[in-house]
Structure 1
């Protein structure tokens, strides 16, 4: 596509048509303190290509990549080994350039990939049907909440205290526009979850109950009783999963009766990448399929009886019946979904189980060693590859002190819940198959020194 710059006359004509005096009028809704009042300071107006490359490399060197240091961060984004074959395959031209198929039946390869991806997600989550992916886990969570409102015609959602606070924040932001009532709270540093309290809180206005599995503290609970309570009240149970590798070892949400299961697929095939792009997973019971956001690729046969793939359902805002759209999400994270699907295909069912077992075994080793340190206690009774410690000191400065020693030792609950002092001694530690014995020694030594 050619880039054709506009002349001053072109700009003037467009401003006249929309009734604006200047381009600045287009930004009046942006607070003045958030707008630049001139060129970016300390940035040269021009430079040679080599000089730009050199400067960008110098700036990039300030970053600390996950693989460069002992790494125990998690809380929704996890470092796993991604086979080199995943990156090789997703960069093939037929995949890399095949984005959203607006004439879908022509893009049979893309549709087949999406169909296979949906099948994998549905089996992983224990659900009857899954869509072709969402932006990320947090927006998928919100889409599930508004989907529950459409189904139940109720406007109150009960959010577990164990739901990731960033997911809660996204839901609260969007609920301002839909007027959904979100009932939220912060977790406590204790082994038990709030499942019983959620059951007791369900009433006639409840559209859904949202829980996380494993939750933000790494705790694992059986939601069968909660699912039954929701069903009895004609409310929906939404289960959020931020670590899909865990489902190679623990019961799927669908097996426990979840109506909608959503989550983040980053752990499989998609690197940390300083925060994105990621891939949202979305599955549900088949009876709710017409209220599911996004789009759905299906398998069929053509006029000659040959196997083929089509977009079976695409309730998106840019299509013909846009007023009937269930979501304004205009895409699926196609390339990240492909990476997820390739990685899971390479693992297979047995490989995923083996990977999950390795994660759990490493996490148990680390939990045992760290909880043996003076004043440190393990909050969890059960966990997968992530657990919470209660330290004898505030966790946030301890995390900073460990980072100064070259160890990224976990995420402090004080960072996630700055307004809840009772959580500030909590440290969430994630342990994956990438953690070595040397990394564990470094973490134990660093934490022992700072406390």
Structure 2
């Protein structure tokens, strides 16, 4: 496994693919919050698998990875109506091209029409299931995860496509407004120039001290160690969701101003 470096914009430097590469995994947005440019990437990869890990809320405004030729798409489904729950239980999102359907893990539900013409959902491709294939089954799921998946389904059904887009736009706007306000404080600047969705990295002289000050005020941001692991020194990350109020964001700015 080889890590792909990033440039001054925060995007991956996706040049020539080394010989012998089996798959490329790209996060969208990436770990620095930057939105990657996936256009033309699959064409350059050829037979190399393109796996995209997505933040699902961002897909309310971003082009879906499938339109760029992704072979497999995965993601954390927690933001879709599930609480953090101290790390679990949660649910994973897994999608793939139809030709790989019988090799994918997890149960597959299909949409159909019953004898009365009513739309319904059923388990399909059941020859993959535990009650048929036993220990050779590719479908394994526990009750806790199924309940989280049900909650995510209800959340998405309640929002609808336009509702999800509105959630995404709120997150995007609030994050950009906050980033602009922070960048206007002397000593603070955005670490990267690339486009971002709802998360960004801030550089400052004493990130550890700043983060401690914010936590004392009840404001949670990313620890400096998180971005240090990705090679960014003297910085911390900030993420904003649709739930944050203007008053809360203004309070964060006031604490940074000292």
TM range (shorter): 0.7 to 0.9
Name the counterpart of 1:214.
29
| 3-state DSSP of counterpart to 1:211 | strand
Equivalent residue runs for 1:92-171 within 5 Å: none
Superposition TM-score, scaled by structure 1 size: 0.52
8 A contact 1:188–1:423 mirrored in 2? no
Structure 1 moving runs of 4+ over 2 Å? 187-190, 298-302, 304-311, 313-327, 329-332, 395-398, 415-418
Change (3 A) 1:189 1:273: farther
CA distance in 1: counterparts of 2:181 and 2:96, whole angstroms: 40
8 A contact 1:387–1:428 mirrored in 2? yes
8 A contact 2:107–2:123 mirrored in 1? yes
Name the counterpart of 1:67.
none
Name the counterpart of 1:432.
241
Higher relative contact order (CA 8 A, sep 6+): 1
Superposed CA deviations along residues 196-236 of structure 1, whole A, max 9, x for unmatched, are: 24xx1342x22211000011111012212221122x2x111
CA distance in 2: counterparts of 1:317 and 1:413, whole angstroms: 44
Superposed CA deviations along residues 83-120 of structure 1, whole A, max 9, x for unmatched, are: xxxxxxxxxxxxxxxxxxxxxxxxxxxxxxxxxxxxxx
Name the counterpart of 2:86.
274
CA distance in 2: counterparts of 1:299 and 1:431, whole angstroms: 35
Instruction: Provide structure 1 residue ranges, at least 5 long, that are not aligned to the other structure.
Output: 1-181
Change (3 A) 1:416 1:376: closer
Q: CA RMSD in A?
A: 2.5
Superposition TM-score, scaled by structure 2 size: 0.87
Superposed CA deviations along residues 160-208 of structure 1, whole A, max 9, x for unmatched, are: xxxxxxxxxxxxxxxxxxxxxx2236x65831412424xx1342x2221
| 3-state DSSP of counterpart to 2:125 | strand
Name the counterpart of 2:3.
184
CA distance in 2: counterparts of 1:300 and 1:222, whole angstroms: 36
| 3-state DSSP of counterpart to 1:224 | coil
CA distance in 1: counterparts of 2:181 and 2:127, whole angstroms: 51
Equivalent residue runs for 1:24-423 within 5 Å: 182-184=1-3, 190-197=8-15, 200-203=16-19, 205-230=20-45, 232=46, 234-241=47-54, 243-300=55-112, 309-314=121-126, 318-322=130-134, 324-326=136-138, 329-331=140-142, 333-378=145-190, 379-393=192-206, 395-408=207-220, 410-415=221-226, 417-418=228-229, 422-423=231-232
More helix by share: 1
What is the Cα deviation at residue 284 of structure 1? 1.0
| 3-state DSSP of counterpart to 2:100 | helix
| 3-state DSSP of counterpart to 2:25 | strand
What is the Cα deviation at residue 317 of structure 1? 7.8
Name the counterpart of 1:448.
257
| 3-state DSSP of counterpart to 1:190 | coil
What is the Cα deviation at residue 245 of structure 1? 1.4
